[in-house]
């Protein structure tokens, strides 16, 4: 091989084939909710906070569960929404903030809880998987 790259077969015009590569795959999928405080046995269940969800979910949660107007209001309170910022920039900022356990993430979580209060209360009343499935 030269400094210019792999040699090319002048008859067929193709580079030599490389052997197959193996890819390591984790045996278990990542946890979707990561809680730092263990819950006591028999304690009432509580809703997961935005920062407890796997960071892979933050983009989907912010993008589908909060309107652009709501997102702009939250970020404006935090001083993070310049008037000329695009919706995409606001979304990216909120996704980054969602992973942190600070006032910004708490405001995002509060907004999510308020927007989806009816659904949260409806699921909170159900006591087992069968009741949840019947919704």
What is the 3-state secondary structure of 10-28?
Answer: CCCCCCCCCCCCCCCCCCC
pLDDT (0 to 100) of residue 102: 96
Give residues with Cβ within 8 angstroms of 55, minimum separation 6. Answer: 98, 99
Mean pLDDT to the nearest integer, 75-85? 95
Q: What is the pLDDT of residues 85-115, one digit of tens each?
A: 999 999 999 999 999 999 999 999 999 999 9
Contact assessment for residue 27 and residue 42, using Cβ atoms and an 8 Å cutoff: no
Q: Is the pLDDT of residue 133 over 60?
A: yes
pLDDT (0 to 100) of residue 132: 80
Rounded to whole angstroms, how far apart are CA atoms 16 and 4? 15
pLDDT (0 to 100) of residue 99: 94
pLDDT band, residue 135 (cuts 50/70/90): confident
Q: How do the domains of the chain map onto residue ranges?
A: 50-126
DSSP result, 79-121: T---TT--HHHHHHHHHHHHTS-SHHHHHHHHHHHHHTHHHHH
- Identify the sign of the CA torsion 30, 33, 37, 42: negative
pLDDT (0 to 100) of residue 18: 64
């Amino acid at each position: 091989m030269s400094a210019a790259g792999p040699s090319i077969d002048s008859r067929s015009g193709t580079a030599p084939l490389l052997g197959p590569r193996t890819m390591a795959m984790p045996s278990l999928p990542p946890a979707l909710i990561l809680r730092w405080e263990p819950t006591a046995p028999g304690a009432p269940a509580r809703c997961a906070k935005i920062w407890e969800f796997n960071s892979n979910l933050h983009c989907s949660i912010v993008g589908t569960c909060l309107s652009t107007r709501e997102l702009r209001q939250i970020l404006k309170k935090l001083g993070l929404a310049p008037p000329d910022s695009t919706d995409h920039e606001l979304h990216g900022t909120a996704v980054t903030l969602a992973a942190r356990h600070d006032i910004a993430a708490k405001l995002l979580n509060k907004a999510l809880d308020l927007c989806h209060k009816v659904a949260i209360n409806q699921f909170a009343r159900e006591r087992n998987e069968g009741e949840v499935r019947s919704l």
